[in-house]
Amino acid sequence: MSERDTPEWAMVTVMFVDIRGFTSFAHRSTAREAVDYLNEFFELAIPVLTRHGGHANKLLGDGLLGVFGAPEPAPDHADRALAAGAEMLEAIELQFGERLRVGIGINSGLVLVGTIGGGSLVELGVVGDPVNVAARVQDATRELRVPLLVTEATRCLLESAGGRLEPRGSLSLRGKPEPIPVHGLMLRNASGTPVA
C-alpha cells in the first residue's frame, strides 16, 4: 500500500462484508474458537480482494471494508469489486459450507482518500457518502435474503458481468432524498443453474 501524503478525491468502489450470525456464534464459543473463526475468514477474504486489485482498508470485527480504485487508481474498479465479491462467495461456500455466511454491499462514488489519524494510529482513510451507502446496502442483504447487493451507481460503471445482476428494488436510506436502486448477484450451483 502506498501512503498518500496529499489527500485527494477519487472515484472508487467500496465493498462492505459482514459475517452473518457471528455474535451468536461468539457467545457459544471460546475466545480462541471465535478468533480462529475470524482469522480463517480473513485468510480467505483478504487475498481475494488483493487478487482483484482491491485493498482491505479496515477490519471491522466480524467484517471488513474493501476499496477498489484507491490507493492505486483502477478505471475498472467496479468490475474488480463485483468479481471479488463473486469469488469471495464461491470461496466461502467451498471452504466453510453452512458454517459461515456473509452479506456483501457494493457501491461506487467519489470519496476523500488520504492519510488520516493521530499519534501512533495513522492509516489510509476513505471517507464519504459512498462508504456509508455501501454499509447500508450490506445491511439490506439480510432483509432481501441475498448475499451480495450492488447499487445502481456501481452497475452503471460495469464494463462486464452486468448480465449477472438482477434488480432487487430500491432502498430508502436515511439522509438520501431518493430511494437507491439495488441489484443482486445471480448465483449458480455446480451444474450452472441459477439459485435463489
62 is catalytic: yes
**Cβ pair 182, 168 in contact under 8 A:** yes
**Cβ pair 126, 70 in contact under 8 A:** yes
Q: Which of 5, 36, 62, 106 is catalytic?
A: 62
The residue type found at 118 is G
**Cβ pair 90, 121 in contact under 8 A:** no
Single out the residue of 192, 158, 144 nearest to residue 85, CA to CA.
Answer: 158
Q: Which of 5, 18, 76, 92 is catalytic?
A: 18
79 is catalytic: no
Single out the residue of 104, 28, 12 nearest to residue 63, CA to CA.
Answer: 104
**Cβ pair 151, 180 in contact under 8 A:** yes
Report the distance separating Cα 110 and Cα 194, nearest Å. Answer: 33
76 is catalytic: no
Q: Which of 19, 104, 106, 180 is catalytic?
A: 19
Single out the residue of 81, 109, 100, 133 nearest to residue 34, CA to CA.
Answer: 100
If 0-12 CB within 10 Å is exposed, 13-18 middle and 19+ buried, where does residue 172 land? exposed
Which positions are catalytic?
Answer: 18-19, 62
